[in-house]
Structures are given as C-alpha cells and as structure tokens.
Structure 1
C-alpha cells in the first residue's frame, strides 16, 4: 500500500471504530467491498451518466451469490446475518453508489421483509429463495403520485370479486419496478390497508420507467400501474391490516439508509483528502492550507459521529431493543450529514468536483433523493419531536 493511501485511510478512520467490530463483521465488509470493486466501481459513473445499469440481472445475481439479498432474514435461503453486518454491507454498497444500495435495500428490507414478516408460508416458499439468490427481483409499491408522507391517503384500492381480488391504482417512485418479477403492493380495502404479492406478469400490471432523473441515475425507478389486476385469494397477506404492515418494512429500509449514507460520505471524504494531497496551488499541496484542513476535520468529525450512531443503532437492533424513533434519529441525521460532507468535498475539488471523473457530485446528487425517501427530514423531525414531548404534531 502506498504512503498516500495510508494517509487517506488514517484520515478517514481517526476514531478507530474498527476496534468495535467483530472479525466476522469486518470480513463481511471486506467481501462486499471486493464485490463492488469488481462489479460496480469500474462502471458506475458510466451507468450514472447514461441513466441505466448494464445487465442489472447479472448484478443482482452476483449480489445474491454473496448472500446480500435479505441477508438479515432467517430461513428460505436467506443468510441470517446480524443487523450490524447488514449495515456494514449497506455502507460499502453506497460507497459505490446509492442506487446500488437502493437495489439491495428494496429487495431485502422492503419486498423480501414484507413477505418474510407478513406473508403466508406458501408466499414465502414461492418467492424468498428466488429473491435471496438474485434469480427474482422484487419491488415495493406504497408511495403514490398524491400520497407520499401521508400513505394512509393512498388511492390504490382492492375489491373482492368472488374469491378473487381486483387491484386498481398507481404507485410512484418505485425502485426496481420495471425489472421486477414480483411487487408487494399496498392497497385500500373494505378492511383497511392490506398488502398483496403481485406477479408482474399479471394482466393489467405495467411498470413504465421514470426518466429524466438527475439523482439515483444508476437505479431503475418506475411507476406501477394496476389496471384491474386480478389476483387469487392466496395473493393477500392474511393478517396484517392498516399502516402497521408497510411502516414495519419502512423501518427496516430506513435502518439500512442510516448506514448507507455514511458510505457515500466516506467516499466523498476519501476523494477530498486524496485530492488535497495531489492538487498544488501557490507551490504546495492544498492540503497544507489551514482552511482546507478545517474542512477536512469537520467532514471527518461528522462522518465519525454518523458512523458511531449507525453502529449503536445496529447493536440495539441485534438485541431487539431498537425503537422506531431511534431509527428516525439516524435517518434524520446521517443523510443530512452525508450530504453536507459531499457538498464540502465538492468545494475542495473546485471545478473538478462537478466531474464524473470523481464520485463526489454523483454522491451529492444521489443523497438529495436519500434525504427525502423513506421519510422526509420534516417527518422524522416530527417523529423525534413526538418522542421528546409526547405530542403528535403531524396535523
């Protein structure tokens, strides 16, 4: 390893957080990093620029072969690993690109978790082994054009027709939708909101690709259109009613985001440190200027705090003591801190900061989406506020 790369690693890992990880956790992290270095990093800037991933099914299969899809779930071909290991995997995936981490999060923490937690034994056996292996891709249909932060106002509905269900409605901003083999769709029914396992080849189902994005471009984002989609009784989740079902899935995904955002932050910080050592102005590296070092120190501090928060929440999750408002603390803090780190890194790189030759602007644009999805800053602020005061201020 070169002296320069040693300086970069030391600069990012000042707190020695590795001392808090087990050997197995570090091995998981190394394995995910190696996969990303082979299958993602050489190509992701081009994917982002073109707005499409080459051979997304091949990539999903590689992720499945490593055991990353639904890795924190037990049984049905899932790896059954710890929450901290899953978090470290999310960090490494997002250090490559938020879109790749989103693919894994939606597959494992939304679609697979919904089936694993709320599905019938038949649904689990049919879908989870395929999805864990990366042989089937899933998506999660909750958000609608007019129902984002207020999912209870969704317009998608399901009605009984004999022994069948008939679904009609639209979902928006759905990761993996266009390439998915199965969609978990939430809909209003006479019994409240219920979840359905919808094969995407069902008549009346379509998933048009959403184009013209300037964020998460290395990710498939879709609309779901359900036009009188007829499903058998066996397609519905049998017990869960109301928002309890989808919100339990969102908490799983938000946990992964808490870690993932720090991966984007780390990548930007590493790029900034490396750049300051190479870039010379006024006859010396810009790393030698006090204002540059002040920026790097602040970035390192925010990264360290975010990583420690993620690790603490992961340890609580592994002991089954993690509460929803604690997940909101992480979701509120870490994407916001990561976005500020990326913005600061962009200033250090100057004009080069807007070039896809460096990962910074790509991470910065992606984090604008990460900041908003799975609960906006405003919604998580109110969750924390309610936890502090006991007063709900959502309406």
Structure 2
C-alpha cells in the first residue's frame, strides 16, 4: 500500500509521527512524508522519502516571525499569508500554503491512504480531494481532539475552520469528506487516553478513537559515552525545546541554571543552537551539550526541567522520569497541568519563579518517592498500549 503521511513543519508537530512511518515501512508499505521548511531535512535524516509541498518560502520561519513578540505586520507577503492572518488562525498558514502541494504530491505518489496529524487540516483536505481513506493521528499528550468542543470558536464538525472552508472552494474540493478509518489518541490512560482494547466513538461523526503507545523520537545522534551511564549524583536535564528560544530567547533559563548550579546534581543543558551568551559563565556542574536528542540521555536522568512542549512532556513519561514544567505558551500550560494532576511532576509560572523555588521543587522531585512512583506507573501504562506497528496493522486490516 502507498501511504502519504502529512505534517505541519514544526519539530513538535512532525517528530511524533515518525515512529508510525517507520512501522509502515517495516511492514513493507511505500511511504512519503509531505511537509515543508526544516522538516524536510528532519524527515530525510530519519531515513524517509520526503516531498517539500511548499518550497517557495520557509513557512515555519514566517510563522515564528509573525507571532514573535513585537513583530509588526508585513504587507509584502503572498495572498495566502494575508488569508490566514485575516482568519486569525496561525496554523491556518499551513493550510493555505501546504494543501495544494500536499494534494499534488499525493496524486503523483498514487496514495492509497493518507495519514495526518490532528492539527494539520491540509492532510485532511488532501485525503478528501484524493478520495482515499484517512487516518488521523493525535500528536499531543496533554490534550486530544477527542476532548475538544468543536462548537467553540466557530469550528464546525471534522475540526475544520473558515480557512479550510476557503481552501475547499479555492481548490475545488467542495463538500467532499475523507473516509476516516480511525483517530489515534497517544495519551496514557491515566492522563486522559485509552488502554489496550479500548475504543471510543467520536460523537461528531461516529469515527472510532483508538489508543496508540507514544514512542519518543527526537532525532538521531552519536550517543556520547557518558549518556550511557548513571552518574554518582543525580543527573537533571534542562531544555526549552525549539520554539521557545526562537520566540523569546533563553532568558527564562537564568533562574533555573542559577538554582541547579547551587545543587549537588549534574546538569545537562540541551538548548540546541540557541545563543547562551546572555546567561554568562555557566556553573561548573552544568554541561551545555547543544543539540542532543532527549532519548539519548533521559534514561540516565533523575529529573527534567522544561517548558511544557508536548513532545518534551511525553518523552520523560515514556522513560518514567519526574519533571518540573515551567510552561511557556500555547498548549504548554495544559501539559503542565496534566503533569501536576497526575503527580508525575510539578509546575510553576516561569514569570514568578525564583531560585529558591526551583531548588525546592527539583529537590522534591529527587527526594520524594511519590513522583518517581507515579512516573513509573505512567511509563508502565504506556508500555501496555498498542505499538505503532500494531495500530498500522489494524488500519490495514480495517481497509480490507
């Protein structure tokens, strides 16, 4: 079977889909990832065939520039950008720029199934235009479209908004709807998801929701030798993901680094390519490793401090690592609340947190067994959920 996978061009929006694509390839299916911007390289590095569906501009960079604090309006942009801006939907930029190219890629590829993430309407529209079955995959661990009320904010059934409606008319898709085989919820059962064997019918259209185990993929790397061993004192990971540094820099790390610098711990600061000069000289127990996938060193960590990105929240859940979440924006506060409610970690407003508070909270994560116990329970729950391979096999079976 030829399967077209569709994702928006952000790390946290694309990487959760990669293990499912690998499962499809391992099962002997032909696959193609339809995305754009930096995710074309990320997909290729993951060993996948990738199609850039909007090579004209760097859409992700344009989105970050438009929503960065202090950014002004730029009238020197394509018509598609103005369309998304007028609709007041940042993600609508992906819909208006990527839908046509995704349809063309799917048609040239001969797609027989379209797999898209819940936040990427371009994939849904492509499935409708191509007239082939579809699979919708959730890529959030803090919330799911299963819990969202589509009646709010002018949304209509199938998760579409006015940008999608406009693109239907522009591209001649009309009222065609894709036959959605199922929608996938990757959350742990005790964090809102489903256990193995569970299934829920979507109240909107009767499409079933199926569970799937979240498998972390943060990129490949040559794993440093130290990451394979637990240090003599607790190792604490610190990261802001990829979006926060691009949006607001790394100033929010100052308090965290100062706090951890005064503790008897080893700190791994994974800040990617972010400029850290504003932090000054780092404490001696802080090792700045640049870009290092979380999966390379989280298994030997005792705790992690992060911003609340969905993938960054999910990875320590997979490994059973307690976490301190200082949520930035978007769905970060929702992730933080889920972490706190489940007891797998703590959270605090980064705007008011201070050195003493960070030390106290990290100290609790390291010393109070309840956090490690809860994190281990969630890890074990996730291990019982169907693997991406099992879900892919179920989809193919449902299609006959």
Same fold by TM (over 0.5)?
no
TM-score (norm 1): 0.30
Higher relative contact order (CA 8 A, sep 6+): 1
TM-score by length of 2: 0.30
Normalized per residue, which structure has more helix? Answer: 1
